[in-house]
Structure 1
Amino acid sequence: MTSVTLNAARPASGDDWMTIRQQRTSNALSQAHDDGLTSFEVVSREGKILTLADGSSCVEFISCSYLGLEAHPALVDAARQAMERIGIHLSASRGAMSPVYLRQLENLLSDIYAGASVTVFTSTSNAHLGVLPLLGSGKMTGYPTRGSVRWLVDRTAHASMQVLRGVMSQFGAVQRVDTHDIDALRRHLAECASDQVTPVLLVDGVGSMSGLLPVLELSALLEAAGGYLYIDDAHGISITGRHGAGYAFENLGHRLPPNTLLAGSLSKAFGGAGGFIVLNAGYDTTQLRSLANPLVFGHTISVPLQAANVAAAQLHLSSDITALQRALWTNVRRFDQKVEQQMLNASLQAPIRGALFATEKQGSDAARAFRRAGFIVFPVFYPIVETGKAMLRCAISAVHTGEQIDSLAHQINAQPNRTEA
């Protein structure tokens, strides 16, 4: 999720962001843990009904697997067969050896992304860590820079990018920007031109709790300024777009502009595990494999999950993905129609909704009421929301039943202290 603290400019006191976060963070989350309102231990599940370690059962609206693919028989069977053939993992970097599924997966992802070059990492965070330093160095093949780069980090960009500011600053200055203020963004780009540096704008496509960004317009702005747009669309992958290519790629017209880099997740709606980077067709991936630290020094995704990723990619290239997307958006529309007071992200093409509360206590009390009613959602506090406030994050899936959607909406409507988004 997006971090408020990481976005803040470093204060005059010189305190680092971790110290600031510690100073501003209350005990609300730890208290929610102690009260059994989060950190649930799952024993088994059937659809969206979980059996927890305390013996209780509940309907969950927490998982980021928005299409329910993680329990699809094709993925489960593929993982089981791979484990029987090779084992749990090969315990080696991909430069040393990798299961055959890795090459298959990257080829299938290239098909999903209209022939673009795709490299798989163990996580989206590791994709950022591997690609951004290479881009910032000016030595990335096909992505030249003039002078140094200037990183323009959107205020709602995911924490996995925000936390790399210290790494990015080795290659150029880092500035916080608000991409919703296009006029201000244009001024930042004009300053980059005046200073003869290359702007690199870092954004989310579908934010975990921050709505959607007009990535096509942003890509064009950066192209005109001689810069690059770097998109983390982890939450947008699979839920929309041809072959489940995601919100950002769909918004770009199902083509990757030469100045745009797209990072995605295999661990959310895709149904498997890991992350990936989409680059221009023809990019020499041996450069990443030889220079990106997570690929040079880290292990590959475990074998059964790689095989599950391949099965998921094959489903994405079939008609099955369209039916799952349709089911997801039917549930999202149903939920929006049933909720009486507008929630965060309401009416947007995003599967996440947020119920806001003016105080942490009100949010915790609401989470407690949900738990008693047999539902679990994710209560979040600072730094996800403003200091002293709270939000219940509700993730809607294609595999929720209509009755479950209606019951959640009824429970939200029953909360007396919710504030308007």
Structure 2
Amino acid sequence: MLVPPFLPPSAMTTTRNGQNLTSAMENISRGIREGVAHLRTENERLEGRTIQVQGRELVHFGSCSYLGLEMDTRLKVASAEAIGRYGTQFSSSRTFMELGLYEEYEALLSRMFGAPALVTPTTTLGHLAAVPLVVKDSDAVIMDHQAHASLGMAIQLLRARGVHIELIRHSRLDMLENRLNKLQNKYRKIWYFGDGVYSMYGDLAPLPGLMRLLEAYDNLWLYMDDAHGISWTGPYGSGYVNSWLSGHPRVIMTASLNKSFAAGGGAIIFPNQEMKQEVRTLGSTLIFGGPLQPAMLGAGMASARVHLSPELPVMQAELQQRLKWMRHYATEMGVPLYPNLSSPIAFVEVGAHEGGFQLMHRLMEAGYFVNLSVFPSVPRLRTGMRLTLTRHLQQADIVGVLAVIAEALPQILKAGGTSVEAVQAEFAKDQTPAPEPVAPAEAVLAIPDAA
């Protein structure tokens, strides 16, 4: 969701932004008081599948390291070796000097994505470096209302310059085309900002429709954040966006390297070398910020080599099997998932935040950790439980967590004066038809359906 600029406490009760901040503070503070937010692991060592929290071992449905590569020995060894060779940090702006590892790392990523790649300290800092440079004052921006908050931060820099900015409802390509028709003769370029895989509901961007619009409107450009789309899908793990739009001359894609890629930082994938060089040279957070440090450069290079190897499609297929289990057993047990589950993010629809807090307690008591998603991470009255799937999880884990939800959720909703069907009907008002999912590898097609 788009996050408005922060205002001082004195403004919190007199503006819409202030009301949003008050609601967010109330929800997060309640989560802290009730022991479901701002938690800490208590493990001396982690193995990926479980975490220890508040003295309890919980099956971990809250990790975005979808392929489980954070536990891969090759990444651990490469990280340690980089520290041994270069120290714990190399403290210099890349404008002055960078470790030689950067050149090899960006070359590996460029092979993986099939286009010029620029490594950034985080995906957010990448947006802040790139967006103010690639979007000119003579351009317009149309942004999906559920695009990631980090894109919203970068948009504020454009707003301060007077760039024309509009928001449209989530994945509503009819609204986008309407605005394209209105704006195409007024602006040099019209940018559409959105996510490849949306981080809360796990739904996919309508890329087939966006491809059609790129063909129909010569001055339409896309800036797509595929933070949750890389590694688990696409050739070499190049992501959901790249699966459809690889090599397109009017598409910029960003990727997170600290989710399924299991290293650190982010990457911006440009359609040409000239755009990369402009951001590399003039990006404010690259000039005035620090670099990615040796340990993460080492881990990232090792991860890139795994992605470019024959192992990657097998890993992708193993994760796809877990998606099949989730779809199958959720349907069998009547658990209301956000429709068309096609990514490793499964969202259980709850509705009001009170029910979400109650269900979170039931899940933790039963031995499961999930992400309780309340405002501001989702709209009001669209609370849900976000279950992320990784290769660490077993079939019994998925069956178990869904069994708890299937039993507890109808009881919680009934006590709150509603039902599973009513909640599903409310969520359906926001939804648009889903695009066809992209199979990440031929190996996926050979996986039998869950029995």
2:59 match: secondary structure: strand
Residue pair 2:128, 2:153 contacting (<8 A) in 1 also: no
Does 1:181 find its partner at 2:172? Answer: yes
TM-score by length of 1: 0.89
Cα deviation per residue 1:382-409 (whole Å; 9 max; x = unaligned)? 1223325521111011221111111111
2:388 to 395, 399, 421: 395
Unaligned runs of 5+ in 1: 7-12, 139-147
Shift of 1:174: 0.7
1:152 match: secondary structure: strand
* Alpha-carbon distance in 1 for matches of 2:21, 2:13: 15
2:393 match: secondary structure: coil
* Alpha-carbon distance in 1 for matches of 2:14, 2:230: 36
* Alpha-carbon distance in 1 for matches of 2:329, 2:386: 17
Change (3 A) 1:16 1:306: farther
Residue pair 2:327, 2:341 contacting (<8 A) in 1 also: no
Shift of 1:4: 7.2
Residue pair 1:380, 1:393 contacting (<8 A) in 2 also: yes
Match of 1:158 in 2: 148
Does 1:119 find its partner at 2:104? Answer: no
Does 1:410 find its partner at 2:403? Answer: yes
* Alpha-carbon distance in 2 for matches of 1:15, 1:92: 43
Shift of 1:5: 6.4
Shift of 1:195: 2.1
Name the amino acid aligned to 2:69: L
Change (3 A) 1:273 1:345: farther
2:37 match: secondary structure: coil
Does 1:25 find its partner at 2:15? Answer: no
Match of 1:362 in 2: 355
Cα deviation per residue 1:132-169 (whole Å; 9 max; x = unaligned)? 1111237xxxxxxxxx1111011111111112332112
Match of 2:440 in 1: none
Match of 1:303 in 2: 294
Report the aligned-residue RMSD: 2.2
2:273 match: secondary structure: coil
- How do residues 22-421 of structure 1 correspond to structure 2 at under 5 angstroms? 22-25=21-24, 27-42=26-41, 43=43, 44-52=45-53, 54-114=54-114, 116-137=115-136, 148-169=138-159, 170=161, 172-178=163-169, 180-210=171-201, 211-222=203-214, 224-225=216-217, 226-252=219-245, 255-283=246-274, 285-339=276-330, 340-388=333-381, 390-415=383-408, 416=410, 417=413, 419-420=423-424
Name the amino acid aligned to 1:33: I
Unaligned runs of 5+ in 2: 6-11, 414-419, 428-451
How many percent identity over aligned positions?
27
Cα deviation per residue 1:171-218 (whole Å; 9 max; x = unaligned)? 511101236332321121111123244211101111012411122431
- Count, aligned residues: 401
* Alpha-carbon distance in 1 for matches of 2:251, 2:301: 25
Residue pair 1:179, 1:185 contacting (<8 A) in 2 also: no
1:272 match: secondary structure: coil
* Alpha-carbon distance in 2 for matches of 1:382, 1:282: 40
2:242 match: secondary structure: helix
1 or 2, which has the higher helix percentage?
Answer: 2
Deviates more, 1:61-70 or 1:340-349: 340-349
Deviates more, 1:61-70 or 1:194-203: 194-203
TM-score by length of 2: 0.84
